[in-house]
Amino acid sequence: MGDALAFAAAFYFGRISHAIYYDKGIIPVMLHWWGAAFSANLLLFPLMACIALLWFFLQGHYSRSKAFWDEFGELLQVLFILAIFNAAFAFSGKLPLSRLWLFSTWLLALILLPLLRAFIHLLIARNHRWSRPYVLVGCGSNAGEAARAFASEPLLGYQLQAILLPTEVETVSCDLPADTPRIPLGADPLATLAKLGNPRVVLALEMHQWQTMENLVWNLGLRYPDLTIAPPLRGLPIFGLETLHFFSHEVFMLRSRDNLARPGPRFIKRAFDLVASGILVLLLSPILILLSWWIRRADGDPIFFVQERVGRGGRPFSCYKFRSMVPNAESHLQGYLAAHPSMRAEYERNFKLRDDPRVTTIGRFLRRTSLDELPQLFNVLKGEMSLVGPRPLLSRELDRYGEGIHLYYQVRPGMTGLWQTSGRSETTFAERASLDTWYVKNWSFWYDLVILLRTVRVVLLRDGAY
C-alpha cells in the first residue's frame, strides 16, 4: 500500500512540476491530463509501477524481512531499470511523453519509495507491530555475532527472547545481553520451545557442536516451522554467496566469489574513482583554496601534511592532508608521552589521543569536520587511493594488522570506509582491521555507494571524530 501511494504521489507531483515549469497553470493542465485518462502517456507509468510492485512481491519485500541496505539496493535497481525502459519509449518519439515529466516522476519515485518505506517500518516498529521474538540456540562467538547482526538492523523487528544453551554447556562464553534469560534446552528441545510460545529459532552453534547436536538439528529441521541457521563460516566472502542444491542428495554447497580479484569489478571501481574524484575536485576547489589560505594565515607553512603510508601491494606512497598539527609533531608527541605515561596506553591502542596537544586550533576544526582529508582526492586521481577502502596504514601498524594483511595489499586504501562509518576514533585497532578485511572480502559497487552515503551522515553529525 505504501509503495503504491509513493508511485501515485510521484506520478501526480511529476505532472505538477511539468505544469509549473512551462507556466501553464496547474488546474488547466490537470484537467487536460485527466480528460485523456486512457491515453498512452497516462497508462505507461502506472504499468511500470505495477511491474515494480509485482517484482517486489515476488522478491518477498512484503512478506519477508530484509536488511535495510539490501532492500534499498534492490528497490533502486528495479526503479532504475524501469525508468530506462520508460525513457526508451519517450525518446523513441513513438509516444507523446514529456521528458521533463518522465525525469521528475522517476526522480520523485526514487526518493519517495525509500522514505515512505522507512517511515512505515519505523511507525510499525514503534507500535510493536513488527516485533519478531526469537530464541538463539548457541553460546559461543557465532551466537554473539548473530545477536549483534540482528540488533544492528532494528527495522527487521527481531527481538531476542532467550538464549537456549546446548545440553552439554552451562555458561555463555560470548558477549550477549546480560538481562536475556538463559534456558537449558533439556532432553526435549521441542517441549522447551513450546513452553516459550514456539518463537522463531536461530541456530548459531559452534563448529565443534554440530556433530554432538546432530539430533537437535535433525528434529528442528523436520518438525519446527520457523528455523534460521547461522553457520560458523566466518572468514568467507558473504556478499553474492550462492547456494547449490542437488536433487535427491542430502548436501548443499556454498559458492563464494572474491569480486575484487576479478578485472571487471576492479575496472568499475577505478572508473568510478576517477570520475567522482575529478568532479569533486572541481566542485570543491573554492573550499580547497580557502582552507589553504586560512591555514597559511593562521599557522604559516606548510599548508599540507605529507606522510608515508602503505598502499596496494605493500608499496609506500605519500598521503596528503591539510596540516592540523604543529610542525615537528612527532618530537612533541614523544615529549608529551614521556611526561604523561598514563596517555601512552591510549595512544598505543589506536595511535590516537582524544586531547592531542599537537593539534592546532584550526586543526581541531578540520578534524572535527573531516576537511583535513580533502587533499586525498589527489591521491585518488593519482591511483594511490580509492574513495572507499581500508584506512591507509602506517608501516608500524603492519605487524598489528593480523592475518588480514594480505587482503589489505589487494586493494587501494580509501578516503573513507567501514571503519570511518562505524565509530571512527571510538573503534579499536583490532575492530578496524576486522571491518577493513570484511570490506575487501565482500566488496560490491553498491556497498561502496552505501558507505559514501553513510560517510555524509557521519561527517555532518561529527560522529567519533577527534
280: confidence class by pLDDT, cuts 50, 70, 90? very high
CATH code (residue 144): 3.40.50.720
pLDDT for 25: 52
How many whole angstroms separate alpha carbon 84 and alpha carbon 399?
49
Residue 334 has pLDDT above 70, yes or no: no
Same domain, 281 and 408: yes
Q: Of 52-66, 177-191, 300-314, 449-463, give the range with the top mean pLDDT.
A: 300-314
Average per-residue pLDDT for the chain = 81
Same domain, 139 and 225: yes
Residue pair 352/425 in contact (Cβ under 8 Å)? The answer is: yes
Same domain, 82 and 112: yes
Residue 54 has pLDDT above 70, yes or no: yes
Same domain, 113 and 199: no
Domain contains 363: yes
Domain contains 289: yes
Q: Residue 260 is inside which H or E element, if any? A: none
Percent of the chain with pLDDT over 90: 21
How many whole angstroms separate alpha carbon 412 and alpha carbon 390?
8
Domain contains 248: no
pLDDT for 22: 56
Domain contains 139: yes
Same domain, 96 and 143: no
Q: Of 185-194, 245-254, 299-308, 323-332, give the range with the top mean pLDDT.
A: 299-308
pLDDT for 380: 97
How many whole angstroms separate alpha carbon 322 and alpha carbon 327?
12
Domain contains 375: yes
Q: By 3-state DSSP, what share of the chain in percent is helix, strand and coil, each rounded to 5?
A: 55, 10, 30
Q: Which of 66, 91, 126 is the last residue of a domain?
A: 126
Same domain, 105 and 76: yes
Percent of the chain with pLDDT over 70: 81
The residue whose grid cell reads 515549469 is 21
Give the chain's domain count: 3
List pLDDT tens digits, range 366-406: 888 889 999 999 999 999 999 999 999 999 888 888 888 99
Same domain, 157 and 209: yes
List pLDDT tens digits, range 184-206: 877 777 888 888 888 888 988 88
pLDDT for 295: 92
279: confidence class by pLDDT, cuts 50, 70, 90? very high
220: confidence class by pLDDT, cuts 50, 70, 90? confident
Domain contains 388: yes
Measured in whole angstroms, how far is the alpha carbon of residue 189 from the centre of its chain? 37
R_g (Cα) of the chain, nearest Å: 27
How many whole angstroms separate alpha carbon 320 and alpha carbon 305?
6
Same domain, 366 and 297: yes
Q: Which of 106, 126, 146 is the last residue of a domain?
A: 126
Same domain, 163 and 85: no
Q: In 37-172, which ranges are continuous DSSP H helix?
A: 40-58, 68-92, 99-126, 141-151
Residue 169 has pLDDT above 60, yes or no: no
Domain contains 343: no
Same domain, 433 and 290: yes
Instruction: Work out whether the CA dihedral 71, 74, 80, 85 comes out positive or negative.
Output: negative
Residue pair 463/455 in contact (Cβ under 8 Å)? The answer is: no
261: confidence class by pLDDT, cuts 50, 70, 90? confident
Same domain, 58 and 192: no
How many whole angstroms separate alpha carbon 30 and alpha carbon 147?
52
pLDDT for 38: 39
Q: Which of 72, 99, 126 is the last residue of a domain?
A: 126
Instruction: Work out whether the CA dihedral 52, 55, 61, 63 comes out positive or negative.
Output: positive
Same domain, 10 and 121: yes
Range with the poorest average pLDDT among 96-105, 189-198, 338-347: 338-347
Give me the domain span that covers residue 215. Answer: 132-234
Peptide bond into 189 cis (omega under 30): no
pLDDT for 241: 77
Domain contains 247: no
Residue 20 has pLDDT above 70, yes or no: no
* CB contact burial 92-114 (16+ within 10 A = b; e otherwise): eeeeebbeebbbbbbebbbebbb
More confident residue, 92 or 78: 78
Q: The whole model's pTM is what?
A: 0.79
